[in-house]
Amino acid sequence: MEQKIGFGTFKGVYTPSVLTILGVIMYLRMGWVVGNVGLIGTLIIVTLSSAITFVTALSISATATNMKVGTGGAYYMISRSLGVEIGAAVGIPLYLAQVLGISFYSVGFAESLVALFPNLSVTACAIACLVILTAVTYKSADLALRIQFLVMLAIVLSLISFFWGGLTLETIPDPSPSATILEDASFWAVFAVFFPAVTGILSGVSMSGDLKDPSRSLPFGTIAAVLTGYVVYSAVPAMLHAALPADLLKQDPMIMVKIAKFGFLIYLGIWGATLSSALGGLLGAPRILQALANDSVVFKKLAKTYGTDQNPRLATLVSFLFALVGILLGDLNAIAPILSMFFLTAYGLLNFSAGIEALIASPSWRPKFKSHWGTSMIGAFLCLATMLMINPGATFIAVACVIGIYYYMLRRNLKARWEDMGYGILMLLSRYSIYQLGKKKANAKSWRPNFLVLSGAPTNRWYLIDFAHNITQGKGFLTVASVLTKNEANVKKRQAFKESIHEYLKKRRVQALVEVFLSHDVSEGLHSLVQGYGMGTLTPNTILLGETEKEENYEKFSEFIQFSHINNKNVILFRESMKTTHEGQRIHVWWGRERQNAGLMLALAYMLQLSDPWSRAEIVLNTIVKNETEKEAAEKMLQKFLLNGRLKMSLQIVIKESWRQSLKKTITSMSSDADLVFIGMRPPEIDESTADYKNYYESIIDLTSDLPPAAIVMAAQEIDFAKVFS
């Protein structure tokens, strides 16, 4: 097996980071920045920009010292913390940003070269530059990093020449005829131009998989690079401000050449900055692509490595082709803000990742480099705020791309080989929500059914789950529960049975919790579920079960309904029917004497109508009265109720003087063409015996025996359900 070469802090992190930070903006835009906002404004911009980068460096350092950082840098850390979906959502745009950055710097180098040799072609020079740099990185990453030392030397010499030089108003030459005269700009516009100058720390992070000791090199190298950049970016404006007035600083982007003791060294610095940034992209981008390939986000073959330094040559060639396309596109200024957005998005998520890990404070969070969670969260907020200040439109485009990739990855349903902190984040949010719910009282305005569906195996009574799912529509809670008798076989079977239910629901795209309860007696187990299932105030409020027509079970069913009512649980008995339905066209709701039942049934029918299978259904509100006078009063009351509740429902009011004797016949005849019938069931009276309530249960079974599918509803919660429609 070939031994991997590891780079140290200076070569692997500090050098590529500093060379990307000290780039073309320093050479070609600092005079314009100082000229527009003055020395104090420039120092504020430099300080604020560097602060964002510094906080991000702290978050990167904390995350890097809490895990074994592999190839891919920022992508690797985000994916291992927040999951492969979010990792890919950031990693793909970050890869494209680095690749197009290669194109940008290659064209920048070519344009500076053409300024000295006008007969050359910008596109041809940029392609030649790209080919040469790709050949260097293709051969050896180590060779590429050694070349960066020469670039570093050129930048250092250019800075020495700059600070050694000096100008007066009498000696300054006129701007060259070909110089671009830049327009004046506001503070935030200048900030937007300057900020990309300090976004170079990811160049070093991208080399994480090639470091000897990432947990040591990444913190020291990254923070040192940020501090170096801050010192230089504070000193250069001071020199410019001391040398020339604002009007002259804004006239010529090549003003540093004229201030320097030896102007040609500034050219070397510019070329070094553009070439080193392009080289940094050619080192970092293929390694992000390699990491994406390792995780099966993109083609696996792109992860293949070659040579003693395990160089990802296939990924390098693909990156070369993308960069070539970028050069051929020509002007990259239009996409530059979006590239900055992608980098800032990565910064923001790195800060959020470190902040949330520290906030959760799981035992697994033990970084060698400590950073307070509040600092990281402030960094995440500053990244988002900066994105909006730079370019709101580009921010929305970047966020839309990230969300699109995230949902695509969710649909792919990749199985990660690692454990992330997604569970911990959900636990943190759940803990907060449950504690807050404990301080609140349920009310009609925010009521939704929280179903406990007693279906047993889903294949036995799927219609119960389907009914509850259509009502909740993924917005309420739904638990599919089953009770197994407690014996040795079922104890071993319980988990496998639970997982099989999960898989069954997943295939049918039903979001639900699953509970498999063990009890010595099924009836005892059902009582325990009703009384004890849930956490805090987040407990089921509605029990859904199928009816039983076996007379030997009537007493137990009646006892269970009584027990559920005592525990303030709404009950829905769902009766299947052999009658032909009409594909969800008509839902009948029977308004009876129990006002609570009527309100609950209307709420359930309305929510059912919002689902796709029942979206075309007509809801018909039925009631029976004794005479014409009662009919007029009922019609007036119900019309007013529907109007105030903004409900589109039809009314059917039938007059039956002896309605109790003809109740079954009336309901059956009026609802024979319905696809679903809601009918109320009276709650048990205080001290009513199970035997007496069993007799009532028998009458309900008889009453609904000839109906289409029916939901027999009993309200029990201490909520005025009619106020749902107020």
Q: What is the set of domains in the chain, with CATH numbers?
A: 9-412 (1.20.1740.10), 444-725 (3.40.50.12370)
Confidence of residue 40 (pLDDT cuts 50, 70, 90): very high
CA distance 288 to 63: 17
Q: What confidence score (pLDDT) does residue 332 get?
A: 47
Which residues share a beta bridge with 483? 517
Confidence of residue 143 (pLDDT cuts 50, 70, 90): low
Q: Which residue has the higher pLDDT, 332 or 685?
A: 685
CA distance 25 to 193: 8
Helix, strand, coil share of the chain (percent; to 5): 60, 10, 30
pLDDT at 714 over 90: yes
Q: What confidence score (pLDDT) does residue 64 get?
A: 76
pLDDT at 181 over 70: no
Lowest mean pLDDT among 129-133, 138-142, 476-480: 138-142
Provide the percentage of residues in the chain whose pLDDT is more than 70. 88
Coil, helix or strand at residue 361: coil
CA distance 254 to 151: 20
Confidence of residue 178 (pLDDT cuts 50, 70, 90): very low
pLDDT at 204 over 90: no
Tens digit of each residue's pLDDT (9 = 90 or more) over 592-630: 777 788 889 999 999 999 888 898 889 999 988 888 888
Q: Closest Cα to residue 78, out of 385, 301, 335, 405?
A: 405
Q: Where are the alpha helices (DSSP H) in 30-121?
A: 30-64, 74-82, 84-116
Q: Closest Cα to residue 619, out of 674, 680, 668, 681?
A: 674
Tens digit of each residue's pLDDT (9 = 90 or more) over 644-703: 888 888 888 888 877 666 788 888 888 888 999 999 999 998 888 989 999 998 888 888
Neighbour-count burial of 684, counting CB atoms closer than 10 A to its CB (0-12 exposed, 13-18 middle, 19+ buried): buried
Question: In degrees to the nearest 10, what's the CA dihedral of 520, 522, 527, 528?
Answer: 40
Q: What confidence score (pLDDT) does residue 330 get?
A: 60
Name the phi and psi angles at 380, rounded to 5: -65, -45
Residue with tokens 């980098």: 343
Neighbours of 476 (CB within 10 A): 18
Neighbour-count burial of 380, counting CB atoms closer than 10 A to its CB (0-12 exposed, 13-18 middle, 19+ buried): buried
Say if residues 676 and 659 touch (Cβ distance below 8 Å): no
Lowest mean pLDDT among 43-47, 56-60, 284-288, 310-314: 310-314
Say if residues 411 and 88 touch (Cβ distance below 8 Å): no
Q: For all residues of the chain together, what is the average pLDDT?
A: 81
Q: What confidence score (pLDDT) does residue 418 get?
A: 55
Residue with tokens 């050359």: 120
Q: Parallel, antiparallel, or unpaired: how do β-strands 618-625 and 710-714 relate?
A: unpaired
Say if residues 587 and 674 touch (Cβ distance below 8 Å): yes
Tens digit of each residue's pLDDT (9 = 90 or more) over 275-322: 878 877 887 788 888 888 888 887 878 777 776 666 778 888 888 898
CA distance 205 to 201: 7
Q: What confidence score (pLDDT) does residue 180 get?
A: 47
Q: Which residue has the higher pLDDT, 533 or 81?
A: 533
Position 276, amino acid: S
Q: What confidence score (pLDDT) does residue 337 get?
A: 65
Q: What confidence score (pLDDT) does residue 32 get?
A: 85
pLDDT at 417 over 80: no
